Amino acid sequence: MGKHGNGDNTPADGDRWPDKPGELPELPALPEGVTVPDDLSALADEADLVRAELDHERREGPGPPAESAGASRSAEPALATPLLIMAVAVVISLVSLFALAWSGTNMTDQPRDQRHALPGVVLADAAGQPTDISAVSPVVIMMVESCDCGELIAETVAAAPPGVTVVAVGDEAPAHPAGVAGGAHLRLLADPDGELRDTLRLGAPHVGTAAVVLADQNRTIIHTVPAATSTAPYEEQLNSLGSPARN
């Protein structure tokens, strides 16, 4: 039993990362009849010829080498093609490196520290009582579909500052952890369709671990741990939830 609070099953603005990067610049077109080899070592002979020509100019100054002027003129076209191929190959390599680096910065997984609002997803407990996730704050959301995390839930409840609610979510509503008082700030909810995990963009569950999301008094997500087996990865942020609201 889950639905988005905005009614059309789309996350609120700012809750999703771009699906695709922007268009990359087009590569320069090669002149007709010119091809770039896959292995640039194939240009070794041409490169040696260019180096010999440059070395001659350094020693004797600009001008034709010892051969006749006709021979020099006939060598010029032979040098022009490999020089052009080498130049284009360098440009293609630089553009490819730029594209790789640019796409890497835009298509990476979500950062651990996020600054998005809690999603408007409504889930129910074992008795069918609904809870709007976006209305609970400050909150620790624990996605426990793939683990028996009763002990971790109990540890999180014990470590949570006063006023912080712990929400544990499974395919079915998790069992109440042993040692946790009935009046504790704990809600055990079911999400059989995995809607909350998808909306939070947490990826697939890691077996034996819990994905943990912390949101402050302003209902802003401040920290995410994709796979936790103890409170250590989020203990500092959990303690900060008891502090006054941050701007």
Domains of the chain: residue spans and CATH: 40-106 (no CATH), 112-240 (3.40.30.10)
pLDDT of residue 26: 60
Q: Which of 17-26, 219-228, 237-246 has the weakest average pLDDT?
A: 17-26
Residue pair 156/176 in contact by the 8 Å Cβ criterion: no
pLDDT level of residue 71 (50, 70, 90 thresholds): very low
pLDDT in tens, 13-24: 444 445 544 555
Average pLDDT, the chain: 76
Residue pair 47/38 in contact by the 8 Å Cβ criterion: no
Maximum average pLDDT range among 32-46, 68-82, 186-200 = 186-200
Give the pair of three-digit tokens for residue 159: 């470590």
Q: Name every residue whose Cβ is closer than 8 Å to that of residue 237 and which is 6 or more positions away in sequence.
A: 214, 222, 223
Average pLDDT over residues 41-68: 66
pLDDT at residue 81 tops 70? no
pLDDT of residue 106: 37
Element (H, E) at 88: helix 69-106
Q: How far apart are CA 39 and CA 19, in angstroms?
A: 34
pLDDT of residue 51: 76
Residue of 78 and 151 predicted with greater confidence: 151
pLDDT of residue 89: 72
From residue 114, alpha-carbon distances to 69, 70, 129, 144 in Å are: 69, 69, 29, 20
pLDDT at residue 28 tops 70? no
pLDDT of residue 103: 42
Locate the DSSP E strands across the chain: 3-4, 121-124, 130-132, 139-143, 165-170, 186-190, 210-215, 221-228
pLDDT at residue 68 tops 70? no
Whether residue 174 is preceded by a cis peptide bond, meaning omega within 30 degrees of 0, is no
Question: For the whole model, what pTM was predicted?
Answer: 0.54
β-bridge partners, 169: 143, 189
End-to-end CA distance of the chain: 34
From residue 206, alpha-carbon distances to 8, 144, 160, 211 in Å are: 29, 9, 24, 8
Residue of 182 and 232 predicted with greater confidence: 232
pLDDT of residue 79: 58
